[in-house]
Chain A
């Protein structure tokens, strides 16, 4: 008899029960410079860093229900940094009082043999992309401004093609479940970026065509 499939229940309990509060938006490349300038002024007094990451999305298809998705990510600019394995739960839009999208989130640092390990476990790579951009920090808030490029040949991160002429902007905070006050901080921060970019909670399930 075949072993029961891996449980698709989200991991809960303990210190790993963290939620990601997320706001998203996009900005055209033309307005990118002014947005970066604004962010440099608003965020913590650190040198803003650029990054280039390669993300692989793995699926584990069970017998029924939705497939289990894991995201493996590595930094192309820092080849020695550990890989990052991430589980993201179903996003909760919540009521109007909560300004940000909330989803369960499990972050694990992993060694470089992660893809092989996932393959051995039965995961299959669904798609991959290369993302590069800037990362800012204000307190616990992380602001990532990045563009997304399609990988044309699987596994070849040199040969990529930009998906669009705009940059994705994500404002996120990792916090334990139930700390909705962070969304207030995010709201006030998003307000300060208002004319340049409108950060909103975007429910991906409604974006599907």
Chain B
């Protein structure tokens, strides 16, 4: 041991003090040692006073007595000192001893009497309730007193608790506001300006160029009365939207036939059921409504700007909240912005009769869609230039110089159709389509023979839709399939494509389509005869879609066909015009004609096979439900039985 280095042992007193806490840096904080008085207090705390609680009654009883004794004694002493000053100093002690002796004697007497059992016996007696009257009063009073203290303590505690609960609620409301704000922040753009929180309603970040600032303010709505019941839809966060974006709005697009006098045009009041924005509406509904109002305003502003700028034959009219345009003569397209702020009482509109719902929902929807496309276009048109030093701008326009674009190519780059032009084109198309459908339906219901069928395609372009029109005869659909028309309805005109590829372009005039269909129907009849002749074994002698003879038709041309019976004896000629109707002639063989004037030239019997004169068939008196059926009957009648 002596050889090695001295080992240093550090001795530390064991930790007598209690460790209060260990800091994050490992520092131990000790509980300071108790002082003498604290130690005493601590020990005193350990004494269980409740153990002596059963003696409480006695204690309480004895205490006032002691007090009485204590009080009486000095009084007596004073008295004796006052009135008997000559008495010796142990007088009171003597008196007390004397009285105690008397009592002891009495007690002895009583005990001896009891013990002898001759005169009286001691029996346990039920305790008289009145006997303990005095202690009970004390008990009651003391109980009352201690209860009062306890109640006071409890009340104090309750007060504290209610205070802290209220504070908690306040805190929670505060926290609710923050969580609501967080939710708001995740969906809307917010920024802090001074001590206000402002949000952005506008579509500017989505590419809108509408100059409305579209700012809303976030309001903390925590100062509600705590006593009242909190309404269920209470939200600590409220938003203040600009007054011009309040309420609800929509764009109404409609097409009317006759144009009312321009003088009558006022602000269109189209709200039949004004939606009320209650103050308790959640903020997201409010914000969405306000944003919708903003979008509608933007659409309308864009449309009215274009309406003023675009030069058209019939100028577009912008009056107050309405844009009026004439897509076709006698037709009026009106686009109006309906904005209801909700505050105003709409009394004027209520007595009016509810107008028919002439909304063109498709166009209204398309307007919204187009403005969003416009936004997107705005966003996507700004691309970063490459190389980086080049100016911002249209990428394709930058190519114009190096690629040597000509004027047409450059103008095609720049040309962009406005919202109004697009919507007018769509309106024109929608109108043309519905009018075409009506024309076809009218004809189909008016004319039973031949039948007309229209097959509309379900999927359309906004500017083009197509319908397939079949003209058939009832019962002969399989053989009479000659007329199949494809009507491509565009914006300004209808293009008709025949089955054989011929194409005709009709204007938007209703009459043109009607006349065309009528002439097609008349041609159909003759085509049907031709088909029928094939089936029946008759020979077609001549056929013409456009006959140059006979009365002139006002629409189209008459068509005609001549067919001969299988053995060539009979011939039927049919002439059918769209207006003049059909005329059917039958030619008989010469041999069957009795009253044929004798001719000098044809005397040989072989000439008797020549066909004779024509006779007209009274077509309306023919039996049969339609033209082709009648014709079939006629052919059958003229075909000799084998």
A interface with B by C-beta (< 8 Å): 44-46, 49, 51, 53, 55, 71, 73-75, 77-78, 81-84, 86, 107-112, 131, 133, 135, 137, 140, 142, 144, 146, 174
Residues of chain B lying within 8 A (CB to CB) of residue A86: 389
Chain B minimum-CB-distance residue to A131: B388
Report which of A71, A73, A109, A140 forms a contact with B392, defined as CB distance below 8 A: A140
- Check if B104 is an interface residue, CB within 8 A of chain A: no
Give the shortest distance, in Å, between B382 (CB) and chain A (any CB).
Answer: 7
Known: A49-B384, A82-B403, A107-B391. 18 other contacts (CB 8 A): A44-B382, A51-B386, A53-B386, A73-B387, A73-B389, A78-B386, A81-B387, A83-B387, A84-B385, A108-B401, A109-B398, A110-B401, A110-B402, A111-B402, A131-B388, A137-B384, A137-B392, A140-B392
Chain B minimum-CB-distance residue to A136: B384
Compute how far the CA of A137 lies from the CA of B391 in the bound complex, rounded to whole angstroms: 11
Decide: A82 near B401, CB < 8 A? Known: A53-B389, A142-B392, A174-B391.
yes
Residues of chain A lying within 8 A (CB to CB) of residue B392: 137, 140, 142, 174
A contact patch SS: strand
Q: Are A107 and B382 in contact (CB under 8 A)?
A: no
Q: Are B401 and A46 in contact (CB under 8 A)?
A: no
- Check if B390 is an interface residue, CB within 8 A of chain A: yes
Decide: A109 near B399, CB < 8 A? Known: A135-B384, A137-B382.
yes
Residues of chain B lying within 8 A (CB to CB) of residue A46: 382, 384
Residues of chain B lying within 8 A (CB to CB) of residue A140: 392
Interface residues of B in 371-409 (CB under 8 A from A): 382, 384-392, 398-403
Q: Are A51 and B391 in contact (CB under 8 A)?
A: no
Compute how far the CA of A132 lies from the CA of B398 in the bound complex, rounded to whole angstroms: 22
Query: Chain B 184-223, CB within 8 Å of chain A: the 1/0 string?
Result: 0000000000000000000001000000000000000000
Give the shortest distance, in Å, between B204 (CB) and chain A (any CB).
Answer: 10
Q: Are B386 and A81 in contact (CB under 8 A)?
A: yes
Rank and list the top 5 A-B pairs by shortest CB-CB distance, nearest first.
A75-B386, A111-B402, A53-B387, A82-B402, A75-B387
Report which of A84, A108, A137, A142 forms a contact with B387, defined as CB distance below 8 A: A84
Residues of chain B lying within 8 A (CB to CB) of residue A45: 205
Residues of chain B lying within 8 A (CB to CB) of residue A142: 392
Q: Are B386 and A77 in contact (CB under 8 A)?
A: yes
Q: Are A82 and B399 in contact (CB under 8 A)?
A: yes
Give the shortest distance, in Å, between A51 (CB) and chain B (any CB).
Answer: 5
Listed A/B pairs (24) with beta-carbon separation below 8 Å: A44-B382, A45-B205, A46-B384, A49-B384, A53-B386, A53-B387, A55-B389, A71-B389, A73-B387, A74-B387, A78-B387, A82-B398, A82-B399, A82-B402, A82-B403, A84-B385, A84-B387, A107-B391, A108-B401, A109-B401, A110-B401, A144-B388, A146-B388, A174-B391
Q: Are A135 and B402 in contact (CB under 8 A)?
A: no
B interface with A by C-beta (< 8 Å): 205, 382, 384-392, 398-403
Give the shortest distance, in Å, between B203 (CB) and chain A (any CB).
Answer: 13
Compute how far the CA of A144 lies from the CA of B384 in the bound complex, rounded to whole angstroms: 11
Residues of chain B lying within 8 A (CB to CB) of residue A84: 385, 387, 389-390
Compute how far the CA of A111 lies from the CA of B403 in the bound complex, rounded to whole angstroms: 7
Chain A minimum-CB-distance residue to B397: A109
Compute how far the CA of A110 lies from the CA of B400 in the bound complex, rounded to whole angstroms: 9
Give the shortest distance, in Å, between B189 (CB) and chain A (any CB).
Answer: 10
Compute how far the CA of A90 lies from the CA of B151 in the bound complex, rounded to whole angstroms: 92
Residues of chain A lying within 8 A (CB to CB) of residue B402: 82-83, 109-112
Give the shortest distance, in Å, between B378 (CB) and chain A (any CB).
Answer: 12
Residues of chain B lying within 8 A (CB to CB) of residue A108: 401
Compute how far the CA of A122 lies from the CA of B629 in the bound complex, rounded to whole angstroms: 92
Give the shortest distance, in Å, between A144 (CB) and chain B (any CB).
Answer: 5
Compute how far the CA of A144 lies from the CA of B391 in the bound complex, rounded to whole angstroms: 12
Chain B minimum-CB-distance residue to A108: B401
Residues of chain B lying within 8 A (CB to CB) of residue A146: 388
Compute how far the CA of A146 lies from the CA of B386 in the bound complex, rounded to whole angstroms: 14
Chain B minimum-CB-distance residue to A79: B386
* Max count, chain A CB within 10 A of own CB: residue among B391, B392, B398, B400: B391
Residues of chain A lying within 8 A (CB to CB) of residue B387: 51, 53, 55, 73-75, 78, 81, 83-84
Residues of chain A lying within 8 A (CB to CB) of residue B382: 44, 46, 137
Give the shortest distance, in Å, between A86 (CB) and chain B (any CB).
Answer: 6
Residues of chain A lying within 8 A (CB to CB) of residue B400: 109
Compute how far the CA of A83 lies from the CA of B392 in the bound complex, rounded to whole angstroms: 14
Residues of chain B lying within 8 A (CB to CB) of residue A109: 390, 398-402
Give the shortest distance, in Å, between B138 (CB) and chain A (any CB).
Answer: 80
Residues of chain B lying within 8 A (CB to CB) of residue A135: 384-385, 388
Compute how far the CA of A209 lies from the CA of B47 in the bound complex, rounded to whole angstroms: 95
Chain A minimum-CB-distance residue to B404: A111
Residues of chain A lying within 8 A (CB to CB) of residue B401: 82, 108-111
Compute how far the CA of A122 lies from the CA of B588 in the bound complex, rounded to whole angstroms: 101
Chain A minimum-CB-distance residue to B399: A82
Chain B minimum-CB-distance residue to A113: B402
Compute how far the CA of A142 lies from the CA of B384 in the bound complex, rounded to whole angstroms: 9
Give the shortest distance, in Å, between A168 (CB) and chain B (any CB).
Answer: 11
Residues of chain A lying within 8 A (CB to CB) of residue B403: 82, 111
Give the shortest distance, in Å, between B448 (CB) and chain A (any CB).
Answer: 65
Compute how far the CA of A137 lies from the CA of B379 in the bound complex, rounded to whole angstroms: 12
Residues of chain A lying within 8 A (CB to CB) of residue B385: 84, 135
Compute how far the CA of A86 lies from the CA of B391 in the bound complex, rounded to whole angstroms: 10
Q: Are B390 and A107 in contact (CB under 8 A)?
A: yes
Chain B minimum-CB-distance residue to A145: B388
Residues of chain B lying within 8 A (CB to CB) of residue A110: 401-402
Decide: A53 near B388, CB < 8 A? Known: A46-B382, A82-B398, A82-B402.
yes
Compute how far the CA of A21 lies from the CA of B398 in the bound complex, rounded to whole angstroms: 21
Residues of chain A lying within 8 A (CB to CB) of residue B399: 82, 109
Give the shortest distance, in Å, between A13 (CB) and chain B (any CB).
Answer: 18
Give the shortest distance, in Å, between A79 (CB) and chain B (any CB).
Answer: 10
* Max count, chain A CB within 10 A of own CB: residue among B385, B392, B400: B385
Chain A minimum-CB-distance residue to B206: A45
Give the shortest distance, in Å, between A16 (CB) and chain B (any CB).
Answer: 11
Chain B minimum-CB-distance residue to A53: B387
Give the shortest distance, in Å, between B348 (CB) and chain A (any CB).
Answer: 45
Give the shortest distance, in Å, between B388 (CB) and chain A (any CB).
Answer: 5
Give the shortest distance, in Å, between A89 (CB) and chain B (any CB).
Answer: 15
Residues of chain A lying within 8 A (CB to CB) of residue B389: 53, 55, 71, 73, 84, 86, 107, 144
* Max count, chain A CB within 10 A of own CB: residue among B387, B398, B399: B387
Chain B minimum-CB-distance residue to A174: B391
Compute how far the CA of A110 lies from the CA of B402 in the bound complex, rounded to whole angstroms: 5
Compute how far the CA of A75 lies from the CA of B387 in the bound complex, rounded to whole angstroms: 4
Residues of chain B lying within 8 A (CB to CB) of residue A44: 382
Compute how far the CA of A109 lies from the CA of B382 in the bound complex, rounded to whole angstroms: 17
Compute how far the CA of A133 lies from the CA of B384 in the bound complex, rounded to whole angstroms: 13
Residues of chain B lying within 8 A (CB to CB) of residue A133: 388
